């Protein structure tokens, strides 16, 4: 049968798996298929995905059965559904399981129903979405907030809604796809700077301003990079933007709520609350639902986003359920209870990193909900991910286009409710899987130098 799963046989070693071809290739190879037949020219991609799925190294095949908690049931990998330790879901403060969040969702369902039934400009706003805007504005110290149906939409909408073809974007080499695609859609004047390298940002800003003083420049970065768990120097970036008449946008999808004093993320940790030009983020990592936002201090920018950010104007507004869940999650994240959950999360991050470092694994970045474990080769990430799933430890093997080619890794994402015993058990199994998979060490060059723009 064509789609039949070939169960991974523990007796077979990774070399045998390699012979199947399921460890070869990468998504980049199939990105530009040729020919007039739009529906069939992806056949080679289809065959490649099918081969990987049959050998249990295709993460798309997995499904979660039940809630995304530290102990979760996952089906559809290389065998029957397994209950195991889950580092593959994003629920940093464990709010998806919080009774008050569930109660807020039920109340919204009772009182407003499941559907916003229109874009924000066409009666899609609700009391809940207005309260959510106000609460976000308070946390960020930025009074002008626009909501979006997803974080992706917020990133894409922020850039395409504000930047036009004569403007310039200067963007970190490792910025999320939503930001990069937004930049490319907004203007051809996109310059990529080396990861976290403020000297390079300065150089590019100076180069642009030497030729063009008439148009805008948007500098784009993240509060906590989603694959490398590191953060830029935000005061310096904002200072450079002032110096060169540019505007700074920081994507706080992974750090807002989960890190920083009061849940204010990397921006609060760097004492920049209310002092960043544009902040955008997502509810999908810490705030237990789908949705995103863009915030700034200037009303003209808000008006522009409302009118010209396509994913806001031309997409259904957040449902009352989503708004209620995000609002209640935000309330908890900014309360004393949130401080406690963040402390648990950070303790878990420090503990897991120490365990993995003790096993001689390389984990880039600093303690945060994201713990990347370097494998280098895509095949090593695939094998390690599969071996771990077999041991009922669920992680996300990440390869191109999520990260550069040859910089594959396992991404473990922590929750406040992971227990010390779960971390200990997982760390041992991660180390064993990486060794068996032949995970490599990163090149000697560290940090910014590893990624040439």
Binding segment toward ligand PLP, per CB under 6 A, in 50-58, 145-153, 306-314, 329-337: 145-153
- Give the one residue of 221, 282, 289, 377 binding ligand PLP; rule: CB under 6 A: 282
Binding segment toward ligand PLP, per CB under 6 A, in 15-23, 251-259, 320-328, 389-397: 251-259
- CB-wise, 221 or 379, nearer to ligand PLP? 221
Determine, following the binding rule CB under 6 A, whether residue 178 of this chain makes contact with ligand PLP.
Answer: yes
Write each residue from 209 to 228 as x if it is in contact with ligand PLP (CB under 6 A), else as -, in one continuous string.
-------------x---x--
- CB-wise, 254 or 302, nearer to ligand PLP? 254
Nearest to 414 by CA among 229, 176, 179: 229
Rounded CA separation 182/219 (Å): 13
Determine, following the binding rule CB under 6 A, whether residue 155 of this chain makes contact with ligand PLP.
Answer: yes
Binding segment toward ligand PLP, per CB under 6 A, in 37-45, 103-111, 144-152, 346-354: 144-152
Retrieve residue 28's tokens.
């980049």
Residue whose token pair is 């907004």: 186
- CB-wise, 251 or 328, nearer to ligand PLP? 251
Determine, following the binding rule CB under 6 A, whether residue 348 of this chain makes contact with ligand PLP.
Answer: no
- CB-wise, 94 or 377, nearer to ligand PLP? 94
Rounded CA separation 193/199 (Å): 9
Write each residue from 96 to 135 as x if it is in contact with ligand PLP (CB under 6 A), else as -, in one continuous string.
----------------------------------------
Determine, following the binding rule CB under 6 A, whether residue 327 of this chain makes contact with ligand PLP.
Answer: no
Judged by CB under 6 A, how many residues of this single chain contact ligand PLP? 14
Rounded CA separation 266/252 (Å): 8
The residues that touch ligand PLP, with contacts defined as CB under 6 A, are 150-152, 155, 176, 178, 222, 226, 251, 253-254, 282, 284, 292
């Amino acid at each position: 049968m064509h789609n039949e799963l070939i169960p991974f046989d523990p007796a077979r070693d990774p070399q045998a798996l390699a012979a199947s071809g399921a460890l070869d290739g990468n998504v980049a190879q199939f990105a530009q298929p040729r020919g007039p037949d739009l529906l069939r020219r992806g056949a080679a991609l289809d065959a490649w995905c099918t081969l990987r799925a049959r050998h249990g190294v295709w993460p798309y095949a997995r499904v979660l059965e039940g809630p995304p908690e530290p102990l979760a049931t996952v089906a559809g990998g290389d065998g029957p559904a397994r209950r195991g330790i889950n580092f593959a879901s994003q629920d940093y403060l464990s709010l998806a399981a919080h009774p008050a969040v569930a109660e807020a969702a039920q109340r919204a369902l009772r009182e407003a129903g499941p559907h916003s039934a229109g874009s924000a400009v066409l009666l899609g706003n609700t009391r809940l979405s207005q309260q959510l805007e106000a609460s976000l504005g308070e946390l960020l110290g930025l009074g002008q907030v626009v909501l979006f149906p997803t974080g992706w939409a917020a990133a894409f909408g922020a850039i395409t809604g504000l930047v036009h073809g004569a403007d310039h974007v200067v963007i970190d080499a490792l910025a999320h796809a939503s930001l990069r695609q937004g930049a490319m859609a907004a203007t051809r004047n996109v310059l990529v700077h080396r990861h976290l390298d403020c000297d390079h940002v300065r150089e590019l800003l100076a180069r642009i301003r030497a030729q063009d003083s008439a148009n805008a420049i948007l500098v784009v970065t993240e509060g906590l990079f989603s694959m490398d768990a590191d953060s830029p120097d935000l005061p310096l970036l904002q200072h450079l933007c002032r110096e060169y008449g540019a505007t700074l946008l920081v994507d706080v999808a992974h750090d807002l709520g989960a890190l920083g004093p009061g849940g204010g993320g990397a921006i609060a940790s760097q004492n920049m609350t209310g002092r960043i030009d544009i902040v955008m983020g997502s509810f999908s990592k810490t705030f237990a639902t789908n949705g995103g936002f863009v915030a700034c201090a200037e009303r003209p920018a808000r008006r522009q986003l409302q009118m010209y950010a396509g994913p806001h104007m031309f997409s259904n507004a957040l449902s009352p359920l989503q708004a209620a869940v995000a609002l209640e999650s935000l309330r908890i994240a900014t309360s004393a209870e949130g401080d406690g959950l963040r402390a648990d999360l950070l303790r878990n991050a420090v503990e897991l990193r120490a365990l993995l470092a003790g096993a001689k694994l390389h984990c880039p970045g600093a303690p945060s909900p994201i713990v990347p474990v370097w494998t280098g080769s895509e095949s090593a990430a695939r094998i390690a991910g599969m071996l771990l799933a077999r041991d009922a430890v669920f992680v996300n093997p990440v390869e191109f286009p999520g990260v550069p080619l040859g910089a594959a890794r396992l991404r473990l994402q922590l929750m406040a409710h992971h227990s010390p015993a779960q971390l200990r058990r997982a760390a041992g199994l991660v180390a064993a899987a990486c060794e068996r998979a032949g995970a490599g060490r990163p090149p000697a060059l560290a940090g910014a130098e590893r990624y040439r723009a």
